[in-house]
Amino acid sequence: MHSEPLKLCSAVLVATGLVLASATARAEVTSGPQPGERVGAFQVTKVAGNPDDGVDDGKHLCYRCRTGNKPVVMVFARTGDAALAKLVKKIEEEVEEHQAEKLTSFVNMIGTDGESLKKAAAEFVKANGIERVAFVVPDDAENGPPNLSIAPEADLTVVCYKEGKVVANHAFPKGGLTDDKIDAIVEASCSLVE
């Protein structure tokens, strides 16, 4: 006699599980080189930030090559918003704290128009008082360098690497960068200098 409510309850649980699984699948994005893989060379134009890195704004170079074997937090961002500013400020704190270990970071702004990205990146750096993290625009501005496989659906991809080898990777769709995820990225950056 109780089988109808039990069936209804089971159906609701299954439907809820499917919705949660679907939401989780949407939240997970695979983008960029994965742990254990190497980070290849690619060309960028430095736009702003980190005036102490010896690279003038406007210079065309391989920033990945310039960082050599240092521990690096490399970011690919499509959106210059408050969440990105918060992440970069936290990374700057780590770069400051780990100067002796030569921790460094650079942000690649990506999107459809390279010239507009350069202007927006320079404004973003100035508006947010960014001093220790360089902002660059890759030659392959739309989705970043092909050899790094930045996913079109990833609004933000963070690759932590040391000696050219990926230690951690975090990727998020638009709106997916939360305070908890910022903390996880900062923790991964700390692991580069342990």
First to last CA, the chain: 62
Side chain identity at residue 148, one-letter code: L
Residues 130, 34: Cα–Cα separation, whole Å: 27
Secondary structure (3-state) at 137? strand
Distance (Å, whole) CA 38 – CA 148:
9
**What are 50-88's pLDDT values in tens digits?**
999 999 999 999 999 999 999 999 999 999 999 999 999
**Does pTM surpass 0.75?**
yes
pLDDT in tens, 107-155: 999 999 999 999 999 999 999 999 999 999 999 999 999 999 999 999 9
Cα–Cα nearest to 94, from 84, 86, 85, 103 = 103
Instruction: Read off φ and ψ for residue 24, nearest 5 degrees.
Output: -65, -40
